[in-house]
Structure 1
Amino acid sequence: MFQGLAAILDLTEAGLAGFILVFTRIGAVMALLPGFGERMIPARVKLGLALAFGTVVWSMLPDPLVRPDPERAFFLMMLIEAAIGLLLGLAIRLMVLALQLAGSIAAQSTALAQIFGAGATPDPMPAIGNILMLAGVTLAVASGLHVKAALLMARSYEILPMGLAPPAADVAAWGTARVAQAFALGFSLAAPFVIAAFAYNLALGAINKAMPQLMVAFIGAPAITAGGLLILMLAAPVILTYWNGRLDATLLDPLGLPR
């Protein structure tokens, strides 16, 4: 099969095998890459993007050939490449999940959790989360995400050579640290909303203690909603700028343990 395809594509058998392995890793990354792997993008567009990225990355490798090795089955190498690609994509996707988590915490803190956004994610989530996620992905794409992602995929072969599985213990430690970092980042981004909600509830409790007959909850509900929207307007640029910087750091070193 490889000999026939190689003849059609005017490539050597080793070169075609190398391209298939590169495409396997790149395709797994593209499935989770923000902006390019979203569920609203048609599958044919995703396939075309994966082929384009695969061609670019394959041409950047110093040795894009895969020579026959009887000790390593080609199908097993494909599985390893897919797993490595999923690890790389997961490192980037966790940054988007941190932004969505920040939006959910902010909405819950400011009594805006009942306002759902539609179409951006498979599961319903507060509109603040959708706003931050869409704005963050747009900022990342506008700041050259495609170039950074291509460089990331090419550099990954320096750390994880083609067809060599990473140690399971290292993957477990890396995954635990990345998930913990995503939760910490999500809470940090939502900190202005949490602090404002704490101050609001503290003031509400003091007013209720001073005037038990007054229905402070009904009076204060519009205030916390308006305050949440005001904080979103003021804090969103800072949140997105900081998040984009963290995303760039992840793209530079997706396989390193977070500091």
Structure 2
Amino acid sequence: MSLDNLTALEPLIGGYWHVAIVFFRVSALVSVLPAFGASTLPTRIKLVAAFSFTAIVAPAVPTVPEPEGLAGLALFAVAEATIGLAMGLGIRLLVLALQTAGSIAGQSTSLSQIFGTAGMDPIPAMGQVLVFAALALAIFAGLHIRAAEFLILSYDMLPIGQFPDPAGLSQWGIRQIARSFSLAFVLAAPFVITAVIYNLALGAINRAMPQMMVAFVGAPLITFGGLFLLFVASPMLLTVWIDALMGFFENPVRMN
């Protein structure tokens, strides 16, 4: 191949480099993105999703000069993968909030062992229902569009090849974990309050009628009550969760 031909291929090579460096961040995020990064999905599907997001994000991101040498390429790859993984885990923590809320609700209403191993993670039945319903709601609400916007805007805060500040990243991660557990307790609050009232009433009945086997009466009651409360409260709980998800996409670095 002549020198003129190599010169003509330089823009094409630069384009491939730009797509590859964007793919590092995108693929790291997609690997843990809710629904798209589920452990039950085949790897080929995840790879197709990563390439699809890359095709959307790459044209909207400013190009950077190609690094010199293998060390420069490795630095870019590690930095981009770290940023993408951190962003994806921030979103993933919201799904963890649902799983934690389901575990708290299941323990409170004696439903923690029903279909507990239906998925890859040992989540109680309530957690499974909430997670599947929330992921379906997120897809219908445009999770893929929000994720693409989130990726494009992330290059304004964290340019290509720039490592995030370790101290700032750790503080951000701690805040996201705290928000996740706070959201989990908020979602599980109706079940916890109901369980407290139920146990207080059961204790009073037991003191009033010691000869009565309250456990035989109370166990089916709390089970039915938990399922009925899940049926009634699910729309409200999912609304609170989807608002938290969209709020994260709008402002992922907020302090509270």
**Class of the TM-score when normalised by the shorter of the 2 chains:** over 0.9
* 1:209 shift after superposition: 1.3
Alignment correspondent of 2:248? 250
Partners in 2 of 1:11 and 1:38 — Cα distance? 37
Give the partner amino acid of 1:196: T
Give the partner amino acid of 1:76: L
Contact kept? 1:14, 1:68, Cα under 8 Å = no
Alignment correspondent of 2:166? 168
Alignment correspondent of 2:43? 43
* 1:230 shift after superposition: 0.7
Alignment correspondent of 1:89? 88
Contact kept? 1:100, 1:130, Cα under 8 Å = yes
RMSD between superposed Cα atoms in Å:
1.9
How many residues matched?
250
- Say whether 1:188 aligns with 2:181: no
Give the partner amino acid of 1:66: P
1:213 aligned counterpart, secondary structure: coil
Query: TM-score, normalising length from structure 2?
Result: 0.92
Matches within 5 A, 1:139-154: 139-154=137-152
Partners in 1 of 2:65 and 2:118 — Cα distance? 42
Partners in 2 of 1:172 and 1:152 — Cα distance? 20
**Structure 1 pair 18–236 and aligned structure 2 pair: CA distance change class (3 A):** same
Contact kept? 1:17, 1:66, Cα under 8 Å = no
* 1:118 shift after superposition: 4.4
Unaligned 5+ segments in structure 1 are: 1-5
Partners in 2 of 1:145 and 1:26 — Cα distance? 15
Deviations 1:174-204 (A, max 9, x none): 1111111101100110100000000000101
Alignment correspondent of 1:74? 73
Partners in 2 of 1:71 and 1:43 — Cα distance? 27
Partners in 1 of 2:227 and 2:48 — Cα distance? 39
Contact kept? 1:32, 1:89, Cα under 8 Å = yes
* 1:15 shift after superposition: 2.5
Alignment correspondent of 2:135? 137
Partners in 1 of 2:249 and 2:147 — Cα distance? 7
1:125 aligned counterpart, secondary structure: coil
Query: TM-score, normalising length from structure 1?
Result: 0.91
2:31 aligned counterpart, secondary structure: helix
Contact kept? 2:64, 2:160, Cα under 8 Å = no
- Say whether 1:228 aligns with 2:226: yes
Partners in 2 of 1:11 and 1:49 — Cα distance? 26
* 1:17 shift after superposition: 1.8
Contact kept? 2:110, 2:223, Cα under 8 Å = yes
Partners in 1 of 2:74 and 2:66 — Cα distance? 14
1:189 aligned counterpart, secondary structure: helix
Contact kept? 1:15, 1:66, Cα under 8 Å = no
